[in-house]
Amino acid sequence: MKSKTKISLVISVCVLFFAILSTFLAIIFIQFGSTKSEKNTSRLILGFSQIGSESAWRTRNTQSIFEAAEANGIQILFDDAQQKQENQLKAIRSFIVYQVDVIAFVPIVEDGWDNVLREAKNANIPVIIVDRQINAPESLYAGFLGENSLEEGHKAAQYLLKKCAGKSSPVNILEISGTENSSIVKGRANGFREGIAEDSKFNIIHSENGDFLRSRGKEIAENLIQKSRDSGNFKNDVLYFDEKKIDVIFSHNDSMTLGLLDSFANYGINPADTIIISFDAEQKSIDALVGKKLNCVVECNPNLGEMLMQLVKQVAAGKSIPRITYNEEKIFTEYDDFSKYEPRGY
C-alpha cells in the first residue's frame, strides 16, 4: 500500500513539474512572439481597396500607389473589388479587424459608405478617399485625394466652344458616360453641361452608360452602326442616332473611346467630321489624337501614389490633412505641337 502511495506521489510531482515547465515555456514563447510581431508591424500598414483593373489607367493608378508605398516604407494590404461595392465593404471591414494604421479606397459609387466609415472611426482608423468622391459626413473620413472631375468637364467644354466657334447650325452630341452613380461621371457631365450652356446650338441628343469599359464603348458604337444600316441611312463617314447626325462624341474615358474606335475600324468607318472628346490620356488615346482619330483628350492623372503616401503618414501621426487635394492635370488637343508629347507610361 505504501509502495502505491509513493508511486502516486512521484507521478503527481512529475505532472506538476511538467505543468510548471510548460507554463514557463509558453510565457517565453508569447513574449518572443509579441516582440517579433512588434518588429514586423513597425512599418505603417495601409489597407487599400481598388475598384478593379478595367483599364490601363486603373492599372497605372494601382502601380503608382504600390511604388510610392515601397519608397516610403509603408506596407499595403491590397484588395481588388472587381467593380463590386459589396466587395469593398467586406475589404474595409477586414482592414478594421486587422487594425491597419490607415485605410484608403477608391469608391465605386458615391453612396452607401456611412456605416463602414463609422466602424473605422470607432476603431480610430483614419480613412482617405481616393480618385472618386462620396456622399458621407465629412467627419467620417480624413480627406479626399484625386482629380477635379468638374473642372475636367469644363476643359472639354472649353475646347468644344473653341472648335465650333464659327458654326451657327445645331451641334448634336452623343454622350458615352461611365459607371452610374460615380462622382467622376457626375462631375464630368455637369462640368461639360455648364460649359456648353452658354451656347444654345449645342444639344446632347443621347446619353448612354458605358461603365468605363472598352467592350461597352465598342458595343454602343456597333448598335448605332447597325441601326443606321437597318434604317437605310448608313454612311461610312457619319454616325446617326434616331436619324439625327452626330456631330460630337463626348466619351467619359479612354477605354470606352478606344472601344468606339475598334468598331469604326471593324466596319470601315472614318467619321472625319465627327468631333471626338475623351478623358484619361492613356498612351493609346494620345496616339489616336496624333493620328487624327480623336480631337481632344482631357488628362485624368493616375499618378496619385506619392501624394497619397504623404497624406497617409500625416493622418497616421494624428495630423489633419486638407479636405480636398487635387492632382495636376493637362488637356491635349489637335492644336498641340505633337513633337512635345512625352510617353505617358500607361
Residue 46 reports pLDDT greater than 50: yes
Backbone angles phi, psi at 318, to 5 degrees: 85, 10
Residue 330 makes CB contacts below 8 A (sequence gap 6+) with 281, 299
Residue 111 makes CB contacts below 8 A (sequence gap 6+) with 134, 135, 181
**Longest distance between any two alpha carbons in the chain, whole Å:** 119
Q: Are strands 240-241 and 244-245 parallel, antiparallel or unpaired?
A: antiparallel
Length of the chain as a residue count: 346
pLDDT band at 272 (very low <50, low <70, confident <90, very high): confident
pLDDT digits (tens, 9 = 90+) for 193-205: 999 998 999 999 9
Listed in order, strand segments (DSSP E) in the chain are 45-50, 75-80, 102-105, 127-131, 143-146, 171-177, 202-209, 240-241, 244-245, 248-251, 275-280, 296-299, 324-326, 331-333
Q: Among 36-40, 119-123, 303-307, 327-331, name the one with the lowest average pLDDT.
A: 36-40
Give the per-residue pLDDT at 1.
Answer: 43
Among 196, 166, 152, 192, smallest CA distance to 297 is for 152
Q: What is the mean pLDDT of the chain?
A: 89
- Report whether 273 contacts 245 (CB < 8 A): no
SS3 call for 44? coil
SS3 call for 214? helix
- Which residues are 171's β-sheet partners? 202
Alpha-carbon span 316 to 256, nearest angstrom? 38
Give the per-residue pLDDT at 37.
Answer: 36
Residue 122: Cβ-neighbour burial (10 angstroms; 0-12, 13-18, 19+): exposed
Residue 320 reports pLDDT greater than 60: yes
- Report whether 254 contacts 282 (CB < 8 A): yes
Q: What is the mean pLDDT of residues 275-283?
A: 97
Name the helix (H) or strand (E) containing 229.
Answer: helix 214-231
More confident residue, 49 or 14: 49
Q: What is the mean pLDDT of residues 329-341?
A: 94
pLDDT digits (tens, 9 = 90+) for 78-114: 999 999 999 999 999 999 999 999 999 999 999 999 9
More confident residue, 306 or 29: 306
Specify the DSSP class assigned to residue 233: -
Q: pTM for the complete prediction?
A: 0.85
Residue 8 reports pLDDT greater than 80: no
- Report whether 324 contacts 331 (CB < 8 A): no
Q: What is the mean pLDDT of residues 232-242?
A: 85
User: What is the percent of the chain with per-residue pLDDT over 90, rounded to a whole number?
Assistant: 79
Give the per-residue pLDDT at 182.
Answer: 95
Side chain identity at 221, as an amino acid letter? A
